[in-house]
Amino acid sequence: DLRKQQTAHRTKMEAFTPAIDAAAKLLYDKDPKLAIEFLTDYTHNTALNVINDWRDFGNFLLVKYLDG
């Protein structure tokens, strides 16, 4: 269960990274402050999503293994 969850998160991040980098580069070329804001928002929201996903996963594991 744990490896599956880790792999899903890693795969998603690896897939998104080139697009996020390209968007940040375009923004940076026009306005560096906008690129910084974009990356800050992206990383903040991504971190919140990962935290929520792991919390939910923890609850899933608790119920799964509590029931035997």
Number of domains, the chain: 1
Domain of residue 22 covers 2-66
Residue carrying structure tokens 């029931």: 67
Strand extents, DSSP E, the chain: none
Residue ranges of the chain whose pLDDT lies below 50: none
- pLDDT of the residue at 16: 97
- pLDDT of the residue at 68: 64
- Judged by phi (left if over 0) then psi (alpha if -120 to 50, else beta), residue 14 lies in alpha
